[in-house]
Structure 1
Amino acid sequence: MEACVRGMCDKNVSPMLKEINRSSRKMSCNLNEDRISGLPDVILIHILSLLPSKDAANTIFIKRFYELWPFIHTLNFDQCMFQGHYCAYCGRASQASCPDYDERFLNFIRHVLLLNKSLNIGKFCLKFHFSLSHSFRQREAGRIDTSQYDFLRSEKRMANEICTWIRFALIMIMDQSMDFILSGCPMLEQLKLWFCYVQRRVILVNSTLKTLVLGIRRCQTLIHVSCPTLLSLEISGYVDVLDIANVPSIAEVSVNRNLIFDYSEYKDYQEMRILLQTITGVKSLKLSSWFGLVFSSWQLTNLPSPTFSCKTLHLQLDFVKWHLPGILNLLKHCPCLENLIIKITSYFVPTCQKTLSWSWSHPYKFDADEYWNMVDTPVQCLTQHLKTVEIAGLVMEKQVIQFLEYLLGHSMVLKKMKILAKKEIYGTNGPKYDKAHEYEERLMKAPKASAYAAVFLY
């Protein structure tokens, strides 16, 4: 009986062992099979992009990846991961008499950037040891040490090259890429594009967008904006390239053209008038100092200005006396204005009269101290609507105080004037606190056209 059982088991086990052996041989063959090489190029490129750039570049020695690694869209350069790099040495080198960067690592970066063929760089990360210690020491000493020429040249060369790498990393916005963004986000409500460098015409057409922020650094063509649901728009930089249309719901607009106003040449700023006319229906409008001077030029030269229906006006001013006509012009063309908010970030009194004497503004010279006394026509928003005034910053200056006195004397429905002022006035011999106290007293005692007007000083 025992022999029979053993015999039966042997007969059953033998085919089973053979099947196991066949499965093992098959699995061994599957393990040796190269399935990765069979993947589509786009998937392999994505996989390579997840690797450190050093490892991705090393796949050049693998036949399947030889032509793929230049298309990686993530560039991650870390000197600490570079073979043979010693971080502790670089820490000491920054205090020694030699530049503290690894030339082999730099050559690797140059090689990868030159061969990169990706249309869009999703991420650019650079970590390596570099300082301008020699250049700073030379500048502090105020002299050139001839023994340091080689190090100074190396530092300058590296600083310039880093700028080149950063420019490489910047993505140029093109019409096609923006189409992909907008079409791929059918529920998009907020879009922020900062540091825009535009080479081709960009069309922003969206039926769900509510908030748009555009910071335009350089542009060679127009940016067309058409968003019927847009509520808030913030634009800065080269705003004159904007073509805004179909924004009937727009409620808040902030426009900042942070350039130096040219006093030496007269311009009619026609493109600015066209831009502003597209946003005349907003409820809240914020303008930079540059626009205040543009409205001054229109006021002084009797050119038409856009009329706004806004109830709130924000002005941020680097104050000069030439802002006075612009402020008056804006008040005239905001007939429904209820809230006026001004922030004075600096106060400038031109010392170079020769420059202004040769400028277009020369025929329009006026006495700033008497300017508000010369305004002989009523301003609609002051007589009917203006209820609150808030002014902050460098308020305690004579011309600013005179403007506030004008507002108090002509705003017939004014309820509150809130002043958040720096108390000191900086003269040639330092702060003049007594003068600031004098201006406070003037404002508190100034005649008020509204019996309900209250002045609050903080």
Structure 2
Amino acid sequence: MKSRSKKHDCYDKEGNYKDRLSELPDEILVNILSFLPIRCAVRTVLLRRFGKLWTLLRTLKFSYSEEERFISYVMKYHKSPTIDKLEFFWIYEHPKEELMKWIILGLRKKTRVLSIQGNPVSTNIFLPPRVFRSQCLVSLALTGSLIKLPRRVFMGSLKKLDIAHVSVSDEDFKVLVSGCPCLRELIVLFPHGLQQLHFTSPSIEKLELDLLIDLGTALDRHYSLDCPNLKILHIDEVYIDNLRVIDVSSVRQAIITYCHTSEDEPDQDHFEILLDKFRNAHVFRLGPNKAYMQLEHCGNGKLAVARNEWTHLALRSRVRGSCLLGICRLLRNSEYLNELIIYANVDFFCDCNMLLSELSSPCVMRQLRIVTIRDYVKPCQALLQLIEFLLKSALVLDKMVIVCNRKDKLLSMEGHEFILQLLSFPRVSRSAKVVFA
């Protein structure tokens, strides 16, 4: 029996062409309309099958080109009882009173995501107090707004707050954050009037900051960072001299993409200072060239680190020790490395069969000049293996400094044997010196 052709399926019994789109249920058609620009979606009213389906849209995005009359029409005839996302791109020609009215209409329909993007230069938008008492909002994004809080602030469902070019005082910022008990992600870009980023909310896991508009205005802006429950911190750009880090002990990932420094204070000094602040972090990066990592355990897929352009690298073991194999692989992929810091207060180990071949195979490190081993406590065979690996790999090494927490340990029989064995290792760099401090 021959199967019917696909071409035949496109026609009904009378030979008329089937409109497959029109056969779809209303729910699917409304979902399709949500991917169109709002003006195109409204124009489907001219199509018989679509009719007024656009009034059931749960996503309303108004761009900067939309006229006030059109926005009023859409908000007036919109019939869906709920709105998933409501977005306004506002310019100074539009009356602010109308915007306030439309925001209130959206909040009455239990809007979950509200985004208001104003012109940060020429527009200051005042939000209606109802915004700060909404129990339905899960995400709020504000650009070019002047935040004036009502007496009571409580957004019980808000999980993400994104503010850019917003004027807000330190006190109002504290009240705003404390009024969002479920807040998980906070984004603050180019704030005006804000200097103290202080909050103890246990729910906030991620903080993104950009604290620099131009270097001229940034010199007079000082910020303090006190977030004892934060997990992830990303700072895009900052004048590092004016950033005071108070408590970030809970941060596990910290990245400062670009930092400006004064000419008389090299950024290496800042790296050392910030490294002490972020000592509990698993990853800390300052700019494109400086990194700090807590090492992984044996068998972990993260041991295979991709090639990087780091010039300064600090490594620390986890509480239960870390895999020596991971350090070797990381060093092989760090061809621009100039300075290496290793914290040796916790033992290194490796139960991988691959370690022997990794240590014996050649590794050429052409730019590594300084190696510092800090917090040395006691002799460790894995540490000796690592030192031997570095001495035979670093072509231009100037010095290796081993900082011992207890000098009496070096004077013991065990310490004496450690020193003799270390000094017997061959060095590929003729100028390499091993110094105990």
TM-score band by shorter chain is 0.3 to 0.5
Higher-Rg structure is 1
Higher helix share: 1
- Which of the pair has the greater relative contact order for Cα pairs under 8 Å at 6+ separation? 1
How high is the TM-score relative to the length of structure 1? 0.41
Q: TM-score, normalised by structure 2?
A: 0.43
